[in-house]
Structure 1
Amino acid sequence: MADLGQERRRITDPKMMRALAHPARLAILEHLNTTGEPTTATEFAEIVGLSPSATSYHLRELAKAGMIEEAPSRGDGRERVWQSPAHSWGLDMEADADPETRAAEEALLATYLERDQARLRAYLARAREEPKEWHDVAGLTTSTIFVTADELKSFFETVHALIDSLKQRNRKEASLEGARAVRVQLAAFPDD
């Protein structure tokens, strides 16, 4: 498993945002950042549901944008192996972003939200078939809270610290008994 350390990179370049604004590319980067495992185009093709040649195109676009890089060869050097240079990526929606950056942010966010909503709908469609221990602990909740900006910042910092600790643990203990990948979605925004 690749050691990506604690580095979290921010996406600020519109070129990077546009490169990621495709579901297959998001899936590729997510796989690399979730598993930490360098992966080939053929292996990615199975993950994203495309042909190896179409997947190779998407890998090259991500590499051009600096989102992925070639990893050391696993053997004879005939296959290109890809890795992420960071353990995670984040997007800051800068208030004073220029129009090109705003358009790229919106395209990336639309793709990201569509992908995450599709995953949530797929889970809800199969929720009743989940084993009881998983059915009983998975959830979806919406609450309205009254907080200051500082309290909301602290809330997010606490949630991120908890998520990061679990992500790091999973990297160190790749096969925890009974563990499954779990998608965590959280949005907190002013509602008026």
Structure 2
Amino acid sequence: MADGQSSARITDPKVMRALAHPARIAIVEHLGSTGAVVTATECAGLVGLSPSATSYHLRELAKFGLVEQAPSRGDARERVWRSTTSGFSVDGDLDEPETRDSQRALVDVYLSRDFARMREWVARLHEEPRAWQDASTLMGPMLLLNAEELIEVNRRVKEVLDPYRRRERMGDAPADARPVVVHYAAFPVE
């Protein structure tokens, strides 16, 4: 798929289950956020697996349309892969038990990875330059909203973040720019 890809909306519980693996989420995130074209060997370092295991995960992701084989970079024997989307959202029929279970499994893997990233950041925070220490934040304000207001807050947060998406900025980001994960969740509590 060419640049200008949109985010995929995943509704099929089989696709959710297929994606509910740490290596697969890492692959989809990397390819989608960078637009990179990679071999399984190049991708293996990213996910910490062997090239053959990574190749298996790429083929599984391709079965569900999340990645695809890209045109060769010159050596016809080399199999290269690219993302079919710039990101994804999960939106299945939660009245269906299979969808609920699949979504829960996917979100669990996703959250485990993101919380591990947060813990890693906090552990190395003291090693980072002061500018990055000051720029990073971890906050959890308690808001009082109705559903309509929460929709508006979510829309505005997305609007603020969109111009900074990695894939769109790769060619013109400041020289000192680094990949930054923004973990955002907004939901009612009891």
Report the TM-score, using the length of structure 2 for normalisation. 0.94
Amino acid at match of 2:104: E
SS at match of 2:117: helix
Structure 2 residue matching 1:189: 3-state secondary structure: coil
Deviations, residues 135-182 of structure 1 (Å, cap 9, x unaligned): 011010011111121111011111112222111541442x53100000
Identity %: 51
8 Å CA contact retained: 1:4, 1:86: no
Structure 1 partner of 2:51: 52
The answer to whether 1:14 aligns with 2:8 is no
2:10 and 2:89 in contact (8 A); partners too: yes
Task: State how 1:1-192 maps to structure 2 within 5 Å.
Answer: 3-96=2-95, 98-167=96-165, 169-173=168-172, 176-192=174-190
Distance in 1 (alpha carbons) for counterparts of 2:19 and 2:104: 12
Q: Distance in 1 between matches of 2:174 and 2:76?
A: 32
Hey, what's the Cα distance between the residues in 2 that align with 1:6 and 1:162? 19
The residue identity in structure 2 corresponding to 1:54 is A
The answer to whether the Cα contact below 8 Å between 1:41 and 1:81 also exists between their aligned partners in 2 is: yes
Give the 3-state SS of the residue equivalent to 1:144 in structure 2: coil
State the shift of 1:66 in Å.
1.1
What SS class does the counterpart of residue 135 from structure 2 fall into? coil
Please report the TM-score for the alignment, with normalisation by the length of structure 1. Answer: 0.93
Deviation at 1:94, TM superposition (A): 3.7
* CA offset digits 1:89-125 (Å, max 9, x no partner): 11125443x1111111111111111111111000010
What letter is aligned with 2:61?
A: L
User: 1:104 and 1:22, CA in 2 relative to 1: closer, same or farther beyond 3 A?
Assistant: same
CA distance, structure 1, for counterparts of residue 69 and residue 80 of structure 2: 6
Inter-partner Cα distance in structure 2 for 1:50 and 1:6? 28
Change (3 A) 1:53 1:95: closer
Mapped partners of 1:21, 1:30: distance in 2: 13
SS at match of 1:151: helix
Q: Which runs of 4+ in 1 moved over 3 A?
A: none
Alpha-carbon distance, 1:4 to partner: 2.8
- State the shift of 1:77 in Å: 1.4
Once residues 102 and 94 of structure 2 are traced to their aligned partners in structure 1, the CA distance between those partners, rounded to angstroms, is: 14
